[in-house]
A and B are shown apart, each in its own frame.
Chain A
Amino acid sequence: SQKIEQNSEALNIQEGKTATLTCNYTNYSPAYLQWYRQDPGRGPVFLLLIRENEKEKRKERLKVTFDTTLKQSLFHITASQPADSATYLCALANTGGFKTIFGAGTRLFVKA
């Protein structure tokens, strides 16, 4: 069955450093990979989408890579800030009626 794995352990980093979160998947060939941010008590908020034919996507301090051979996506936050502390979810998506599947998320803590 389709499976998405994100680091279950929380990631603790110092302000100003780059945070790198990992999303691995099996038994799926997504056309798109999405990243969302979720704050406590709130719904997930869309951040970035990357297509299977794209290697890298950037938006301000965010960078996403997508390696369809390794079946892995990396999500980077450069110059991290305490306000970046949240849970980050990756999601695999496809067209043609396939469901979007979400990972369990990785909790990020950025210390001042």
Chain B
Amino acid sequence: DAGVIQSPRHEVTEMGQEVTLRCKPISGHDYLFWYRQTMMRGLELLIYFNNNVPIDDSGMPEDRFSAKMPNASFSTLKIQPSEPRDSAVYFCASSLGTGDQPQHFGDGTRLSIL
């Protein structure tokens, strides 16, 4: 059974460019999460969806960040315009629920903004 699939694995781009990260969750999982991981701040939840609907986006840093989930098998996280401080590893995870359900993570997108 395929796990959570993220693309691209690595992205290097210049400041000011638009960046789009993609995620395909595990089939049948109703919840999808976007996280950002840095050495300084660890793993931070940016936003999560339930049945394709955004539930909590309080972790989204600012208006430059947006996330969509047009259907149950695809989600995007977009940064426009990108800044060097956005450099981090971005993870997508999916689960059957919250609380007592484990989250299944993809292998992340390592983003470098020059």
Majority SS of interface residues in chain A? loop
Residues of B within 8 A of A89 (CB): 43
Residues of A within 8 A of B104 (CB): 46
Interface size counted on chain B using CB atoms at 8 A: 22
Contact (Cβ within 8 A) B98 A97: yes
List the count of A-B residue pairs having beta carbons below 8 Å apart. 60
B60 at the interface (CB under 8 A from A): no
Contact (Cβ within 8 A) A95 B99: yes
CA distance A46 to B100 in the complex (A): 12
Residues of B within 8 A of A100 (CB): 33, 45, 98-99, 103
Contact (Cβ within 8 A) B102 A34: yes
Which residue from B42, B103, B105 sits with its C-beta under 8 Å from A104?
B42
Give chain A's interface residue range (CB within 8 Å of chain B): 20 to 34
Which residue from A45, A51, A105 sits with its C-beta under 8 Å from B105?
A45
Q: Across the interface, name the chain B residue whose C-beta is closest to A105.
A: B42
B25 at the interface (CB under 8 A from A): no
CA distance A104 to B42 in the complex (A): 5
Residues of B within 8 A of A97 (CB): 55-56, 98
Contact (Cβ within 8 A) B93 A43: yes
Which residue from B59, B102, B106 sits with its C-beta under 8 Å from A43?
B106
A61 at the interface (CB under 8 A from B): no
B86 at the interface (CB under 8 A from A): no
B67 at the interface (CB under 8 A from A): no
CA distance A64 to B97 in the complex (A): 22
CA distance A43 to B93 in the complex (A): 9
Q: A42-B107, A99-B56 are in contact. Are A49 and B98 (CB under 8 A)?
A: no
B4 at the interface (CB under 8 A from A): yes
Residues of B within 8 A of A45 (CB): 105
13 contacts between A and B (CB under 8 A): A32-B99, A42-B107, A43-B91, A43-B93, A43-B107, A46-B103, A49-B100, A89-B43, A95-B100, A98-B99, A100-B98, A101-B45, A103-B42
